Structure 1
Amino acid sequence: MYVPFPIRDIPLGEPLPVHVWDRSGRLLLRKGQIIRDERHREWVAMHDPQVREDEYRAWTYRYTTAIDRALRGNQSLEAIAGVGRPMGFDDTLELAPDERPVSEIWPDLHAALTLLLHQGEAAQDFVGRFLWIERRMHGVLRSRVDDSLFVLTQMLFDRELGYSACHALLCAVIVRLVGQTLAWDEARLQSLQRAALTMNLGMARLHDDLARQDAPLHPEQRRQVLEHPVRSEAILRRLGVHDALWLELVRDHHEQVGGTGYPHGRTEVGLPAQLLRMADVYVARISPRHARAGLPSPRAARDVYLDASGMPTPLGTAFLKALGLYLPGTYVELASGETAVVARRGRRANTPLVFAIVTRDGWPRGEPPLRDTADPAYEIRRPVSADDIRVRLQPAKLLARL
């Protein structure tokens, strides 16, 4: 059963809390996508947008619950009037382990994180909501790491999704994996992951805008970019964050050994901050932007693996060991002539498991076979840009076969 969706009530630039359909059952917008502008809103409205009744009830229930919470807390009428329809999720509930496919879990977390980053200093219960996202992340990463990398990389390639949260989630998973490879303790890993999720808090909306921008940064944008590490740290302090390492990493994630980074040009930079910058640079380089395609993951990995003199570093070696050359969710061409999507990291950095999604003759496969690229018949010939792929993947079906 479907009911009308109140598209006029949805704020521009905020992630949608539900899938939106037209009357014929065609998907108009996926959960987590945004209404870009009023022209986009009008286009959706013309198609008589609908939503599943159970999703609509859950969404409006969160709204009435927020109102009730404000009333019971004796908040002012002004504060109660300011309660908007929540675009995220109920963060106060202790949820059972989420057994859904990761292709459903990560878009939900992306939508929740996008809203939190966009609200920034104005967010109510920032720390509580942030910890809810973190708990859900830990739950799915306990057993489904490669599936998560696959889904997050595919989300990163989707230009319709908000870039800042995609970037943050993938960076957070990467720094945890590399930190575990280095045998760092859980307290350090936790601070590092939290810093990855919030390092761009001070420019989250701008981060999204720049991913869609063709022109170079104008002076005001450049100023905001250069100031965002300090601004992000200051916002976190005002929101109640007291973890010294978390705050330090957010402040220093663009600093470089030798003093060539910003905002302070520090010459001494700790290993956690170096790793956070490494993940930040890697994810940015493989990300497609409106004005350019992303770099192949082997090229991006090489760039962070080697230092300025062309020599590998211990941190770069751990990075490559943790992720491999071919990140799950990226595309390659095989010696067989097939085009494939990377599904699993392999025993070696250059031998992942892949699904062959296009035949050597250019025909999409209905049931992609799994290939081991350690087999010379299916070794990787070259990476393929996501922009060159015309096959629409169904991650849940693919990953269910592994």
Structure 2
Amino acid sequence: MTELVRIAPGALTIGRPLPWDVYDTDGNILLRQGYVIQTNSQLEQLFERGRFKPRKIERPQEEVFEDTRDRNPFADYPDLLHSLEATLNAITESDPSAQKRLLGLARMIERTCTESPDATLALVHLYSIGPVIHEQILFYAILCQFIGRQFGLEESRVAVLTAAALTANLALVPIADKLNASNTVLNDEQRSVIRKHPQRSIQALRAAGIDNKLLLTIIAQHHEQADGSGYPKGLSGTEIRPEAEILALAERYVAMITKRAYRQRMNVANARKLIANLADGKYRPAIPKALLQVLGEFPPGILVRLENNEVGVVTRRPVRARGPFVKAIFGPRGNRYSGTFERDTSEPDFGIQALEEPEIMPSMDFSLVWGFRS
């Protein structure tokens, strides 16, 4: 059994779902991934009593850094984040394994999105309350997979786009979490770092032996805008690769639905309206349209209230005029169900009447809700 490690202060946050299972000192599960810490006393108890299983990836450098197990996005979430951190560190350190790590991680994300698309898309919404920079980067890569395919990019271009999404913000990693936690206006030095981050990320990639031309072009252009108002070169129109616009839109959507110290998160309905208005000269019209098609009106991972007053989480997007599908968590009187009940919202009794936006998300066993274990 993997040795259990004490949870470090700062690793968990009130109001956010647990990113992994929590154990006691004897190895018994205390709380499942998806449990939401509600109070400071609960948080203190977890820091005192809780343990978790650290990820250990010890592979010879000549191997391709790729995992071929069946994909459960929730169980894989900590490993994907760990692999991402290791990959970015390898690039920063110009490690010979960097390119293999990047390619392997991009393929893992591709398989996860392909095999379990609704659950993978749910990750973006379930963990969007206050994600750290590595989580944000993972969300960018997931969204780029879906948008790129919906837009009609061939497989090879989607693969390069995913790798670009994983590395475009490499130069921002050391400061991003601090910036997101600050409610003060950016100073000149911080603005300069932000504007220079595409080129600095490219320099790190080249130093690590990663020089795919399309990859570096996507990164260089992902803050350009079709109307010429972007940076660093003020490119416009078709001078900008569609892959760069897809990455830019993925980043923008995550920013919309993410809580920051200086603003509240936007609900999905308002984010969708804003995206629908983005074909205003800043993007190719087909790219915002592709994102809206990927999300649907009610994307997986959001909470909704049904016509019968049950509250549940959207688990699957519509299929052949049925759905979206919801797992009911609370009964009409607000009572918490002991299990969950699937509802087809295309049926009148279970239609969606509104988004549900509680101050703190209810706890859920994500793997169980999405049917990954009995």
Asked whether the two chains share a fold, i.e. TM above 0.5, the reply is yes
Distance 1:30 1:369 in 2: 20
Name the residue aligned to 2:178: 209
Tell me if structure 1 keeps the 8 A contact 2:103–2:163.
no
CA distance in 1, matches of 2:362, 2:117: 24
C-alpha contact 1:324 1:349 (8 A) present in aligned 2: no
* Alignment partner, residue 121 of structure 1: 92
> 2:167 — aligned with what?
198
What is the rounded CA distance, in whole Å, between the counterparts of 1:91 and 1:302 in structure 2? 48
Q: 1:157-195: per-residue Cα shift (whole Å, max 9, x none)?
A: 3x3xx5222222222222222222232212221121111
User: 1:305, 1:312 within 8 Å by CA — same for their partners in 2?
Assistant: no
State the Cα distance separating 1:301 from its structure 2 match: 2.3
Change (3 A) 1:142 1:227: same
Structure-2 change in CA distance of 1:331 and 1:244 (3 Å)? same
| Length-normalised TM-score, structure 1 | 0.75
**Residue identity (%):** 26
Moved more, 115-124 or 287-296: 115-124
The equivalences for 1:46-125 within 5 A come to 47=48, 59=56, 62=58, 92=63, 97-99=68-70, 101-117=72-88, 120-122=91-93, 124=95, 125=97
User: What is aligned with 1:304?
Assistant: 275
Whole-Å separation in 2 of the counterparts to 1:320 and 1:151: 17
Structure 1 pair 92–18 and aligned structure 2 pair: CA distance change class (3 A): farther
Q: Which runs of 5+ in 1 are unaligned?
A: 32-42, 70-89
- Alignment check: 8 A CA contact 1:195 1:250 kept: yes
Matches of 1:197 and 1:365, distance apart in 2: 39
Correspondence list, 1:162-181, <5 A? 163-181=132-150
Note the alpha carbon deviations across 1:71-129, whole angstroms, 9 max, x for none: xxxxxxxxxxxxxxxxxxx8936766313632111221012213433565225222122
Match status 1:23 vs 2:25: yes
CA deviation profile, 1:203-237 (whole Å, cap 9, x unmatched): 01322223333333333222211221221122212
Q: Is the 8 A contact 2:66 2:101 kept in 1?
A: no
TM-score by length of 2: 0.80
The aligned counterpart of 2:41 is none
- Name which one, 1 or 2, has greater alpha-carbon Rg: 1
Which residue number in structure 1 is paired with residue 364 of structure 2?
393
Code of the aligned partner of 1:273: A
From 261, 280, 300, the counterpart of 1:328: 300
Instruction: Tell me the secondary structure at the aligned position of residue 340 of structure 2.
Output: coil
Structure 2 residue runs of 5 or longer lacking an equivalent are 12-18, 35-43
> What are the residue-to-residue correspondences of 1:345-384 with 2, within 5 Å?
345-347=317-319, 352-384=324-356
What is the CA-CA distance between 1:21 and the residue it aligns to?
4.4
Measure the CA separation in 2 of the matches of 1:312 and 1:325.
21
Q: Distance in 2 between matches of 1:148 and 1:212?
A: 26
Q: Does 1:277 align with 2:279?
A: no
State how many pairs are aligned.
352
Letter in 2 for 1:260: S
**SS at 1:369 equivalent:** strand
SS for the counterpart of 1:181 is helix
Which whole-Å CA distance do the structure 1 matches of 2:150 and 2:221 have between them? 22
Query: Whole-Å Cα distance in 2 between the matches of residues 318 and 220 of structure 1?
Result: 36
Q: Do the aligned partners of residues 381 and 164 (structure 1) sit closer, same or farther apart at CA in structure 2, a change above 3 Å counting?
A: same
Which whole-Å CA distance do the structure 1 matches of 2:324 and 2:4 have between them? 45
SS, match of residue 382 in structure 1: strand
1:139 equivalent in structure 2: 111
Residue equivalent to 1:224: 193
Q: How far off is 1:343 after superposition? A: 0.6
Establish whether residue 251 from structure 1 lines up as the match of residue 234 from structure 2: no
